[in-house]
Structures are given as structure tokens and as C-alpha cells.
Amino acid sequence: MALSAVVMKADGSVKRAELDYVKSFFTAQFGNQFTREHLQVLKHFLDNGQIPISDICNDIRNRISVDGRIQMVHYLFQVAKADGHVDDSEMKIIEQLANKLGIPAMEFESVKNMFYRSADSDYKILGIEASASDEDVKRAYRKMAIAFHPDKVAQMGEEYQKGAKEKFQQIQDAYENIKKKRGIK
């Protein structure tokens, strides 16, 4: 809830779409266990000027695998994009959170480019440069497909699995886009 609040506040105003997304995510993730009390915790963090981000991120690093933390960053980007786009201030705060969560830079760039597109986004999603050889493109795709296959988070909740499927699909789409541009068979 705290990290959700940090992202929601990043652009200076909490949008209804962001709040609705957080509610729907946690309801889908935890069902009836997600209660009004959880919303009160979110409200507390939204109203509170000081959120102990470093302490919270350290705790998460100690409790959740890197794959789970990457999915958390994916979720934070979804919160930011709930209002239609990811603002620069939201992107910067998510990058800071990812650093504090111990997300490798390449993994962060890959997730970021799913929400914050540039001309090289397909390459960045695969964690390579546009100058990479065709063989490097294939190798990077295979590596990312194995690393981010949805089966890796099968033990996690439905929303994490949904996020993993989306990420896996974007990896596949990026690879297909590159293959099409380059004429790779």
C-alpha cells in the first residue's frame, strides 16, 4: 500500500483511476481478505507526508524474490498508467523504488519500456542495443522468455500471474517486431 501511495502521489495529484486500479488489483489478488482496513492503510499513506520508503523497500527485498519484486515494479507502472499515461515524475519515482528494491538495471529498463515507449523500446525490452546482431537478438529473446515465463510466478496470486503473462507477451511482441524490421526468419 505504501509504494502504491508513493507512485499515486508522484505527479502531485491522486487520480480516481489510480485509486480504482489499486482497489481492483488488491480485490482480485486477495478477494474477501482485502477489506476497508486495507483502504484505510492506503489513505493513511496518501495523507501522510513522510513514508519510510527505504525501510519498506529493505523489508520487501528481504522477504520477496527478485522475480516477485520485478512483478511489483510492473504493478507500480500499471498504477502510474491507470490514468492513461506514465508521467515523468511517476517514472522517476518508480525507478528510485526499483533501485531500492534491488531490481537489476536491465530488468527495470525492460519493464519501463513496456509502459514508457521510445524508438528503441523493443530492443530495451529484450535488454539489448539496436546494434545487436541477429544472433544476439535471438539469444536475448530466449533468455528473456525463460526468465519471465509466467510459470515462474505460478505460486503467486492471480494479478501477479496476469502481470507475468503481459510481460511475457510484450517480450514476444518485441521479438516479433524486431524480426519483422530485420527480416529474421
Question: Domain boundaries in the chain?
Answer: 2-182
Rounded-to-integer distance, Cα 159 and Cα 47, Å: 26
pLDDT tens, residue by residue, 128-177: 999 999 999 999 999 988 888 888 777 777 767 777 788 888 899 989 98
pLDDT of residue 79: 95
pLDDT of residue 50: 86
pLDDT tens, residue by residue, 66-113: 988 999 999 999 999 998 888 889 999 999 999 999 999 988 988 898
- Left, alpha or beta for 156 (phi > 0: left; psi -120 to 50: alpha)? beta
Rounded-to-integer distance, Cα 98 and Cα 81, Å: 17
DSSP annotation of 131 reads T
- Is residue 18 very low, low, confident or very high in pLDDT (cuts 50, 70, 90)? very high
8-22, 34-48, 97-111, 130-144: segment of lowest average pLDDT: 34-48
Q: How far is CA 39 from CA 91, 98, 107, in A?
A: 24, 24, 30
pLDDT of residue 118: 66
Rounded-to-integer distance, Cα 174 and Cα 46, Å: 36
pTM: 0.71
pLDDT of residue 92: 95
Please say if the pLDDT value at position 121 is more than 90: no
pLDDT of residue 135: 94
pLDDT of residue 119: 65
Query: Are 51 and 45 within 8 A, CB to CB?
Result: yes
Q: What is the CA radius of gyration of the chain?
A: 17
pLDDT of residue 137: 93
Please say if the pLDDT value at position 8 is more than 90: yes
Instruction: Please return the burial class of 89, using the count of CB atoms within 10 Å of its CB with bins 0-12, 13-18 and 19+.
Output: middle
